[in-house]
């Protein structure tokens, strides 16, 4: 088994809506393209540890579990 981290899309969209902030605005603040942000939100790509730290800072969140979830992935599925 391998552990993978992905964005909690529903939670991030809620935070963005409450702050009147767009997904593209978040991407700009993180220094990534809107296309890459879209892939992260869809679960196609997974955020690196560096990007996770940056996202927590940009969104002024302290709790990892508010923005991310950890899932177990079978090594055979890779």
pLDDT in tens, 10-30: 999 999 999 999 999 999 999
Phi-psi map region of 31: left, alpha, beta (phi>0 left; psi -120 to 50 alpha): left
Query: Is 1.10.260.40 the CATH classification of the domain at 2-66?
Result: yes
Strands (DSSP E) found in the chain: 2-7, 68-73
More confident residue, 12 or 77: 12
Kindly report, residue by residue over 38-61, the tens digit of the pLDDT: 999 999 999 999 999 999 999 999
Residue 77 has pLDDT above 90, yes or no: no
* Res 16: pLDDT: 97
pTM of the model: 0.87
* Res 75: pLDDT: 77
User: What is the Cα–Cα distance from 45 to 49, expressed in whole angstroms?
Assistant: 13
User: What is the Cα–Cα distance from 64 to 76, expressed in whole angstroms?
Assistant: 27
Q: Are 68 and 8 in contact (CB under 8 A)?
A: yes
């Amino acid at each position: 088994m391998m552990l993978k981290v992905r964005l909690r899309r529903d939670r991030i969209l809620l935070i963005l809506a409450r702050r009147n902030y767009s997904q593209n605005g978040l991407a700009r603040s993180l220094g990534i393209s809107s296309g890459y942000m879209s892939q992260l939100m869809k679960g196609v790509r997974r955020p690196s540890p560096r990007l996770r730290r940056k996202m927590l800072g940009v969104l002024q969140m302290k709790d990892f579990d508010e923005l991310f979830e950890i899932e177990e992935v079978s090594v055979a599925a890779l």
